[in-house]
Amino acid sequence: MPSYPYSIEVQNLTKFFGSKKAISDISFTIEKGEVIGLLGPNGAGKSTTMRILAGLIPASSGIARINGISISLDPQSAKRELAFMPENNPLPEDLRVSEYLTHRAHLKELPRSLQKKRVEEVMELCDLARTANKKMIRTLSKGFRQRIGIADALLGQPKILILDEPTIGLDPHQILVIRTLIKDLQEETTIVISSHILPEIEVSCDKVIIINQGLIIGQGTNTSLRKDFCPESSYKISAITHGLSLKEIILRLDPLANILEENQKEGITTIHFTTLLPPHFSQTLIDHIQQHPSWKLWEIVRSEPTLEDIFLAATKPSWKIPTYKFKQDSNLRIAS
C-alpha cells in the first residue's frame, strides 16, 4: 500500500476563541520533504494554525491530518509524527544542556539504551556538543537557547518539524547556523517555519502560505506569488538619446509603463520605471537604443519584488497603494 502523499493536510479548518474567529475555513497541503514558510501579520492566525497542527489545541471544525493521521481522532499517534518548537521556548535555568536533553529524551519515551546516543547526535547536529555541552542553560545566549529548542524537537526523530519564529532575536551568524541546520534536515524532514524575518523565509523555504485575518490569501512559490501580487518588474536605465527623450522611448515601447523617477547628470538621463511586460523587455530596450549609432546606453538593470514586497502587497488594505522595494535581479544587464 502506497504511503500517504502529504505530510500535512488541512481541510476547511476553523477555530473560535469564544465569539472571535481566529482562523476561518483554511485549507492547504504540504508534501513530504518540503520547507514551508507560514507568514502573516500579528494576530493573523499563524500560531493558532501551528498549535492545532501540533495537537496543543483542538479545532472548532475542519480536518487536519499528520501523515494521514487525523489529529482529532487519534491525537497521540499524530503527535508522534511531529515536533513543535514554540516562539518563547521555555528552558530550565538550573540544568546543563546535556542534562536537560537527557531528561527530555526520557519524557519522549526513548528507550533508555538509546537516550545517550540520541542526545549526543542532536547536540552534534545543532552544534552544541563542543561549545555548550556542560554549560548551565542560564549562562547561554539566545542563539544557543534556540538551538537547544531545536535539538529537543529533534530527539524523537520526527518526520515533521514545526518551528515558530526560530531565528527571532538572533544575530546574523546565529541565523546562518539555523538556516544551515534547516537545510541539513530537509532531506528527511518536512519543516514548517513561521517567521517575521522575510529574507530568511525567502532563502529557506520552497513555498509560502500567507494568512491574514484568519484567511489564507496566498500560497505557492515566490515566483507564483509574485505573479499574483506584484506582477511588475522594475527597471533602472541610463542612456544618452537624441531626437527623442528616454522617457518617450520607454512609453512608445510600453504605453502602460509607470515612470517613477527621472533625472539627468552630465548629459546622461536615468529613469526608474515599472512595467508588466515580461523580462525580455530589457532586451527590447537594448536593441532599440543600439539601433541608433548616436545613442549611448550606459546601464540597464531589471529588478524583481522581494518576498517582503509580496507580503506587504498581499496584506495591505486594498485602498493603500503598495510601495515596492525591489531586489536587483541576479541577471542584471549592463551595456555600453
Strands 207-212 and 35-39: parallel
Catalogue the E-assigned strands of 195-280: 207-212, 215-220, 233-240, 258-265, 268-275
Give the residue among 174, 107, 189 at the shortest CA–CA distance from 144: 174
Tell whether pTM > 0.85: no
301-313 mean pLDDT:
91
Lowest mean pLDDT: which of 52-66, 136-150, 174-188, 249-263? 174-188
What whole-number distance in Å separates Cα of residue 9 and Cα of residue 13? 10
pLDDT at 185: 85
152 exposure class (CB count in 10 Å sphere: 0-12, 13-18, 19+): buried
Per-residue model confidence as pLDDT tens digits over 70-126: 999 999 999 999 999 988 888 999 999 999 999 999 999 899 999 999 999 999 888
What whole-number distance in Å separates Cα of residue 220 and Cα of residue 239? 38
pLDDT at 330: 39
Say which residues have a Cβ less than 8 Å from residue 323's Cβ, sequence separation at least 6: none
Per-residue model confidence as pLDDT tens digits over 165-203: 888 777 888 788 888 888 888 878 999 999 888 888 998
Long-range CB pairs of 52-57, under 8 A, 24+ apart, other chains included: 52/13, 52/15, 53/8, 53/10, 53/82, 53/84, 53/162, 53/192, 54/79, 54/82, 54/84, 54/162, 55/79, 56/84, 57/15
Domains in the chain with CATH codes: 6-225 (3.40.50.300), 228-328 (3.30.70)
Which amino acid would we find at residue 45?
G
By the 8 A CB rule, do 164 and 146 touch?
no
